[in-house]
Amino acid sequence: MSSELRYTANTQLEHLHARYTGTGHADLTKYEWLTHQHRDTLASIVGHPSLASYLALADGEAVGRIKFEMTERMLQPCGPPPAKDD
Amino acid sequence: MHLYNLTLQPPTAITHAIAGNFSGSRQQEIIVSRGTRLELLRPDVQSGKVLTVIASDVFGCIRSLAAFRLTGGTKDYAVVGSDSGRIIILDYDPKTSSFVKIHQETFGKSGARRIVPGQYLATDPKGRSVMISANPTYAALEVDYSESDQDPTGEAFNNAEKMLTYYELDLGLNHVIRKWSEPTDPRANMLVQVPGGQLASSDRYDGPSGVLVCCEDHIIYRHMDAPQHRVPIPRRDHPLQDPDRGLIITAAVMHKMKGAFFFLLQSEEGDLYKVTIEHEEQDVKSLKIKYFDTVPVASSLCILKSGFLFVASEFGNHYLYQFQKLGDDDNEPEFSSASYASFGMADPTSPLPRAYFRPRALDNLTLVDEIESLCPIIDSKVMNLLPNSDTPQIFTACGRGARSTLRTLRHGLEVEEVVSSDLPSIPNAVWTTKLKEDVQQIGPDALLQVHPHGIRHVLADRHVTEWRVPQGGTIVCATTNKRQVVVALSTAELKGMGSTVLALSIAEVPEGRQRTPYLAVGCEDQTVRIVSLDPESTLETISLQALTAPPSAICIADMLDAGINKSQPTTFVNIGLQNGVLLRTVLDPVNGQLTDTRTRFLGTRPIRLVRVQVQRNPGILALSSRPWLNYTYQNFIHFTPLIFENLDYAWSFSTELCPEGLIGITGSLLRLRQAGKTIDDEVVNLPPEIFGRPKAPAGTWASCIRIINPVEAKTVNVIPLDHNEAAFSIAVVPFAARGGELHLVVGTAQDTFLSPRSCTSGFLRTYRFMKDGQNLELLHKTETNDVPLAVMAFQGRLVAGVGKSLRLYDMGKKKLLRKVENKNFGSAIVTLSTQGSRILVGDMQESISFAVYKPPENRLLVFADDSQPRWISAATMVDYNTVVAGDRFGNVFVNRLDPKISDQVDDDPTGAGILHEKGILAGAPHKTDMLAHFHVGDLVTSIHKVALVAGGREVLLYTGLHGTIGILVPFASKEDVDLISTLEQHMRTEQGSLVGRDHLSWRGYYVPVKGVVDGDLCETFAQLPANKQSAIAGELDRTVGELLKKLEQLRVTASGPHDPNAFFAVYDGHGGDATAKYAGLRLHHRLADDYEYRCQRYPSALRNAFLGTDAEMRSMKEFARDRSGCAAVAALVTCDNEIYAANAGDSRIVLSVAGMAKELSFDHKPGHPREYSRIKAAGHGVTDGRVDGKLAMSRSLGDFVYKDLGHDPTLHAVTSDPEIKNHRISCEDEFLVLACDGIWDCLSSQDVIDTIRFLLSRQIGLQKICEEICDLCLAPDTFDGDAGVGTDNMTIMIVALLNGKSEKEWHWWMSERILRRNGLPQIYNPARLERARAMREARERERERQQAAKFYEMFAEPRGRVPADDVDRMQVV
């Protein structure tokens, strides 16, 4: 890879990270990865009507309630982050 | 494997609904999103009925929908946010009745992602701008989670504030600015816009502006720099309710009237609240809330200006209500923010005191219409239970809670029952079935009476004019429209008609004209002629259509079919034949030619046709042994059987009653019937269907076992389950230990929690059927450690998926006895299916595994699984090695096991081999291959392999949660696969999705689409503009009509019967290829459509097919100048082992019976005495063995110069009447040879048979043999003067009569036979030879084994001392 290309690739990557929350990087921790996974899943449930209906049926709740609870859960889906070592 | 996906019933759930003036007229419409479809509904203000105007599949997932109007405009537009990463502005064009994409803006990736906007949409009330977001908008509720992600103590999480933020579009800068942001209630879930701003014309404010923030238990009014107002959401005064449970608003709608506005908010319980804001100019004085009414929980609410409320239910049917009053002056308690300290905001963190109301029956609203919805379909079964029904019914378990139903669906069209006493007492509207005495109203005040001897014209003043038939004749047939009368006389007075007239029809008079120009006449000589009615050329024949049988009825109707002409109705000539076939051809209005003929078999009786009105459009009712209706629905012609128990009733109903009797037909393709509606008394005696049951906390269940008689749609018995037990699975098991007596096993669990999955105990309840299945007796309960989510009968025992383990149970006295268990499943077993000793297990997360039960060792072993994880929701076995399954994300896929592995597993008696095999990818030792994959777009809840018609082709039928019912049809031929998949590719580029979703990525949402063609997309071909249609058709080498016909055929064959017969033919053309080519395309279709064929009278069917194809060609203008012809020979091999050989011409069909040639046809040469006499009788001569010295055969298709019009076609000099021979297949019959005269001139029949057998004995394939024979016959050069033998064209076809053998077995069998008969003499008994050979082989094997052992010993001993360079050689050994 030429140095020029590497340079553009890097800026593109940074751009991607800035634009698409949840894109992984080299120093990603397990907690971060898991949180992103959960948030993506929850967003998918809210975004796909049939999945939201499915959960609403299973829980015996209204679809609106399910969407609300899922959105709320996106705040911290996997509990508080682990304590930092330093 | 190639499948064709067709949706029989699109999703019926509504996820979003918006109201607006989309067509630009004064009438308001509703656009609804059904998840993957957009529909425009129009509520009829007078009747209160909701009509679907158009429906369009968007091939994408709709996430949001909003309506907006440009400033000063009168027309509303729809903004659609979807998973395409694009925002679309749609316009409804009432002229073409379609949605038009006005603007498409791409802003992100596809898919429903949290970082790509599209989930929320908001529009500016003045139509200036639209905001899209992954979060709510304009005024937005936001939570910043960046801090709580960093803080391990959880303090930031607890302190995370929900912010209410205002955004503003600065029109000057064209930039969005964040204007204002304030924290609000942390449990806020929804914002509702409050109108504001001044009208340009007056100083008055529309409203105070701002938003209603709907929170759990509260509603807060907020606006920038204004005091907040807070009111509680009133709750039901219900003793059983959980008091700690919060209440949220899930749907809201605002309605503006002149100078006032109010909100209707709906809680998650379904209660509607009316919210009003009292304000002076911009200052809010108070916020008020009161209970309004209770309707089913809605996904969207729409208020129409005409006083209707449309409730798009989350689950179950949708409703249209009419406002009776606005709840202004009733005794309902009203809660105002003014009655609380500082407008309820004294302490925003603590809740306000609870407010209560008493729910009651509808007071302010009345129900006016109900739109059926199957959503959610929980499960389905396909069975034929109704008496006198030839098609199976689909039984679906729909709905949830108290609104659940069991519905029976059938393919067909529902006819609403019309009360017969409503017969209008107007004598002039009566038609009698005897066409000889017609009475028809002509003009405003006159009657016209047609009787066998004349026509009477009765005027309103009782003055009568009469026309009498000339002496000796009677009127046999008559037809009228509003202005013209045509009668046919028994003396064939209609000029030019060679034979008796059987049926007549003229079209309605076109608007602005005095008469219609064409008359269709059906004659006894099996033709229909289009006759001119122009005064200048009256009764001149314009065009002619040949038929397969005498016509019984003709009906000309102008109907709109956008597939042919989008703007104007097309004139169709519908011809009903006496054999029950209906022909539909298009009449060209300019030149009167007939084109685009389509046929359909309707039933076994002669067809009668009646012109009717269907939803104010012309339609045709066709009556045979089954009534059918041909009508325009959503701009396309549909042809659907009517569901009627009594056919005679249908006949008299539609004819004797006024034609409007059919107006009430709904457009739904499926008949729905409510059954087993559950009704229970509530504590406060409120019907739970409307009010729902009180919500219980998680882990609390109410469940029962219900026996329903599906035929009478009645609940026979209900067995409630107590102690918080809930049923999860059910199966009928014939326990071998009880002599095969049927038992019912229900898998239940106590105190079940879904997340994380747990229960205190699971049970398998075993019941015995009592009183002929009307009641159940509990035999015992078997405790299990987990929830049994799947149970199934298996070889006289029960197999159950209990949590992660698969278990086999047998019947015991006190409980079921566990026999064997396999605990190696990933999450939980949800589906089971079986064949033989194989069990297919569907795991909740880990896809489908193949397990086998090995009785000798009593082992349950998993030997194959899927290579990728799948969240299985439904699965069924397609065949022994193949499984079809649906997953939670809306995919359907087919997996197949390698047959070799299948054989290997079956050959292993104990299963020890499988047990010790090494697993791959942390799973079973073998993996299945994916054959097909398709994204349906709806969560698949059940899947079945069924035939939709008795004896029909089997299809895969699936149901989706949102009410989708679809089928996957296997393609019949490779040719179809190529054609339709190329069409699909063209459609992908031509027909862009309405929401801008790429079709290929939509159908391959999670896994790339494989082996499935999307029929729904292909069928939109009919909606393309004509120039695009013809461009695509040109690329595919077809005409538009052919493509449309093919698509229709694919839909029809899915529900049509499967034809088990085989047809082979050789057409040898001369004088051009047109006839041979046409016959090759049409003759077999004609045969398959023939009535006699369906009645299994094959000889006459073949005759009809030959004569009909010939007549059809003759009536076509393409053949008017064509001089070509073809000799045709055909063999029909039926499933009941008969061969019917039909021949017209000098080709030949020969059967090999144990090596002896048996000719099944006779070569029609003009020299034969019988042929000669016919040719002579027809006025032609024979010279040099040729007809008129030219044609070398005496029968053929085409060659119309030798066929004189008007004669009986069997008497023509060169007739197309085939000679038919019949042969019953015996075990000595080997193969059939069909070949043209090019072969037979060189080789005799016996020569050909001998040659084929000789080549077969040398293990040469049949195709190669055909080539060899042609080579053999082909003259080496053309110099020799020998009359051109071997220089003619040659076609040969060999048909192996397998007689139940496989192709390989047949070849083996043939070479054995040939060798035995023609090879060495047979001295000894074959069994004795066989035994000797087996012994010899065994001896040889033993010798080989010994040699190998010796060889091994030689090397085994000195292994350590083998020199290095010898190692390679050893490996070779």
Reduced to 3 states (helix: H, G, I; strand: E, B; else coil), residue B622 is: strand
Which residues in chain A show pLDDT less than 50?
1
Which residues in A have their CB inside 8 Å of a CB on B? Answer: 19-22, 32, 35, 39-40, 42-44, 46-51, 53-54, 56-65, 68, 71-72, 74-76, 79-84
DSSP symbols for B463-524: -EEEEEPPTT--EEEEEE-SS-EEEEETT--STT--S-EEEEEEPPPPTT-SS-SEEEEEET
Q: Of residues B1057 and B198, which shows the higher confidence score? A: B198
- Three-point CA angle B445, B448, B451, nearest 5°: 160
Residue B499 has pLDDT above 80, yes or no: no
Whether B765 contacts B745, CB under 8 Å: yes
Which distant-in-sequence residues (6+ apart) come within 8 Å of B572 by Cβ?
A: B556, B557, B558, B559, B584, B585, B586, B587, B620
For chain A, the straight-line distance linking the first and the last C-alpha, in angstroms and rounded, comes to: 37
Which domain does A40 fall in, by range?
Answer: 35-77
Alpha-carbon gap, residue B575 to B554, rounded angstroms = 5
Confidence of residue B1140 (pLDDT cuts 50, 70, 90): very high
Q: Answer positive or negative: Cα dihedral of B1353, B1359, B1365, B1368.
A: positive
Alpha-carbon gap, residue B899 to B556, rounded angstroms = 56
Q: Diameter of chain A by CA atoms?
A: 59
pLDDT digits (tens, 9 = 90+) for B961-993: 999 999 999 988 888 899 999 999 999 998 888
CB contact under 8 A, B696 and A60: yes
Q: What is the mean pLDDT of residues B800-811?
A: 94
Q: Diameter of chain B by CA atoms?
A: 129
**Side-chain half-sphere of B1191: how many Cα atoms within 13 Å?**
33
pLDDT digits (tens, 9 = 90+) for B373-394: 888 898 888 887 777 666 678 8
Rounded to the nearest integer, the mean pLDDT of chain B is 80
Give the residue among B572, B464, B467 at the shortest CA–CA distance from B478. B467
Q: Of residues B597 and B788, which shows the higher confidence score? A: B788
Whether B191 contacts B141, CB under 8 Å: yes
Edge-to-edge order in the sheet of strand B1148-1153: B1156-1159, B1148-1153, B1229-1235, B1292-1296
CB contact under 8 A, B112 and A44: yes
Encoded tokens for B529? 């002629």
Report chain A residues whose CB lies below 8 A from the CB of B962: 49-50, 53
Q: How much is the pLDDT for B675?
A: 29
CB contact under 8 A, B754 and A44: no
DSSP symbols for B556-618: EEEEEETTTEEEEEEEEEEEEETTSEEEEEEEPTTT--EEEEEEEE--SSPPEEEEEEETTEE
Q: How much is the pLDDT for B428?
A: 26
CB contact under 8 A, A68 and B248: yes
User: Which of A48, A64, A71 lies nearest to residue B251, judging by beta carbons?
Assistant: A64
Beta strands at B235-236 and B356-357: parallel, antiparallel or unpaired: parallel
A76 min Cα distance to partner chain B (Å): 7
Q: In chain A, how many domains are there?
A: 1
Report chain B residues whose CB lies below 8 A from the CB of A58: 754
Q: What ipTM was assigned to the predicted interfaces of this complex?
A: 0.87
Confidence of residue B298 (pLDDT cuts 50, 70, 90): very high
Alpha-carbon gap, residue B291 to B355, rounded angstroms = 11
* B89: Cα separation from own chain's centroid: 29
Give kind and range of the element (H or E) at residue B407.
Answer: strand B405-411
Alpha-carbon gap, residue B600 to B585, rounded angstroms = 12
Strand partners, B1126: B1069, B1197
Tokens 């997953």 locate to B887
Q: Answer positive or negative: Cα dihedral of B16, B20, B24, B25.
A: positive
Residue B115 has pLDDT above 70, yes or no: no
A19 min Cα distance to partner chain B (Å): 8
CB contact under 8 A, B314 and A61: no
Three-state SS annotation for B388-403? CCCCCEEEEEECCHHH
CB contact under 8 A, A21 and B115: yes
Scanning every residue of chain A, which has its alpha carbon at the shortest distance from the alpha carbon of B154? A80
A9 inside domain:
no
CB contact under 8 A, B154 and A80: yes
Edge-to-edge order in the sheet of strand B283-294: B249-257, B260-267, B271-280, B283-294, B334-336
Give the residue among B297, B966, B141, B8 at the shortest CA–CA distance from A53. B297
Scanning every residue of chain B, which has its alpha carbon at the shortest distance from the alpha carbon of A34? B149
- Three-point CA angle B1319, B1322, B1325, nearest 5°: 140
Alpha-carbon gap, residue B566 to B1252, rounded angstroms = 57
pLDDT digits (tens, 9 = 90+) for B71-83: 778 888 998 888 8
A70 inside domain:
yes
Whether B38 contacts B18, CB under 8 Å: no
Scanning every residue of chain A, which has its alpha carbon at the shortest distance from the alpha carbon of B962? A50
Give the residue among B1232, B1244, B1234 at the shortest CA–CA distance from B1285. B1244
User: Which of B13, B115, B401 lies nearest to residue A22, judging by beta carbons?
Assistant: B115
Which distant-in-sequence residues (6+ apart) come within 8 Å of B1111 by Cβ?
A: B526, B527, B546, B547, B1209
Confidence of residue B422 (pLDDT cuts 50, 70, 90): very low
Scanning every residue of chain A, which has its alpha carbon at the shortest distance from the alpha carbon of B136? A71
Q: How much is the pLDDT for B779?
A: 94
Report chain B residues whose CB lies below 8 A from the CB of A75: 143, 145, 148, 157, 160
User: Which of A50, A65, A82 lies nearest to residue B962, judging by beta carbons?
Assistant: A50
Q: What is the mean pLDDT of residues B1017-1035?
A: 90
**Side-chain half-sphere of B199: how many Cα atoms within 13 Å?**
9
Q: How much is the pLDDT for B98?
A: 86
Test mutation, A31, A48, A71, chain B, max B CBs within 10 A: A48
From the CA atom positions of chain B, what is the Rg in Å?
Answer: 38
Residue B1252 has pLDDT above 50, yes or no: yes
Residue B426 has pLDDT above 60, yes or no: no
Q: Of residues B601 and B660, which shows the higher confidence score? A: B601
Alpha-carbon gap, residue A42 to B61, rounded angstroms = 17
Q: What is the mean pLDDT of residues B132-145?
A: 56
pLDDT digits (tens, 9 = 90+) for B442-467: 444 556 666 666 676 666 566 777 77
Confidence of residue B661 (pLDDT cuts 50, 70, 90): very low
Q: Which residues of B145-154 are buried (b: 16+ CB within 10 A; e: fewer)?
A: beebbebeee
Residues in chain A: 86
Scanning every residue of chain B, which has its alpha carbon at the shortest distance from the alpha carbon of A60? B695
Test mutation, A29, A32, A53, A61, chain B, max B CBs within 10 A: A53
Q: Give me the numbers of helices (H) and strands (E) for chain A, helices first please.
A: 4, 0
DSSP symbols for B1287-1342: -S---EEEEE--TT--HHHHHHHHHHHHHHHHSS---S-HHHHHHHHHHHHHHHHH
Alpha-carbon gap, residue B895 to B876, rounded angstroms = 11
B83 min Cα distance to partner chain A (Å): 8
Report chain B residues whose CB lies below 8 A from the CB of A83: 152
State percent of chain B over pLDDT 70: 80
Test mutation, B192, B295, B314, chain A, max A CBs within 10 A: B314
Scanning every residue of chain A, which has its alpha carbon at the shortest distance from the alpha carbon of B109? A20
A65 inside domain:
yes
Residue B1353 has pLDDT above 80, yes or no: no
CB contact under 8 A, B961 and A53: yes
Whether B574 contacts B628, CB under 8 Å: no
A11 inside domain:
no
Encoded tokens for B82? 């979807």
Q: How much is the pLDDT for B1283?
A: 57
CB contact under 8 A, A50 and B314: no
Report chain A residues whose CB lies below 8 A from the CB of B939: 50-51, 53-54
User: Which of B143, B250, B960 lies nearest to residue A75, judging by beta carbons?
Assistant: B143
A59 inside domain:
yes
| Number of Cβ within a 10 Å radius of residue B698 | 12
Among B438-447, B836-845, B1095-1104, B1190-1199, which stretch is predicted with the lowest mean pLDDT? B438-447
Scanning every residue of chain A, which has its alpha carbon at the shortest distance from the alpha carbon of B402? A60
Give the residue among B614, B543, B547, B617 at the shortest CA–CA distance from B576. B547
CB contacts < 8 A, A to B, total 128
Residue B794 has pLDDT above 90, yes or no: yes
Alpha-carbon gap, residue B919 to B922, rounded angstroms = 6
User: Which of A21, A22, A50 lies nearest to residue B35, judging by beta carbons?
Assistant: A50
User: Which of A32, A51, A76 lies nearest to residue B157, judging by beta carbons?
Assistant: A76
Report chain B residues whose CB lies below 8 A from the CB of A71: 189
CB contact under 8 A, B698 and A46: no
* Angle separating helix axes B1098-1115 and B1074-1089, nearest 10 degrees: 130
Confidence of residue B555 (pLDDT cuts 50, 70, 90): confident
Scanning every residue of chain B, which has its alpha carbon at the shortest distance from the alpha carbon of A74? B145
Residue B950 has pLDDT above 80, yes or no: no
Q: How much is the pLDDT for B141?
A: 63
A23 inside domain:
no
Test mutation, B64, B107, B114, chain A, max A CBs within 10 A: B114
pLDDT digits (tens, 9 = 90+) for B1292-1345: 999 999 887 777 788 888 888 887 765 555 566 767 777 888 888 889 888 988
Beta strands at B377-383 and B446-451: parallel, antiparallel or unpaired: unpaired
Encoded tokens for B1224? 């019953």
Alpha-carbon gap, residue B267 to B238, rounded angstroms = 15
B240 min Cα distance to partner chain A (Å): 16
- Three-point CA angle B876, B877, B879, nearest 5°: 155
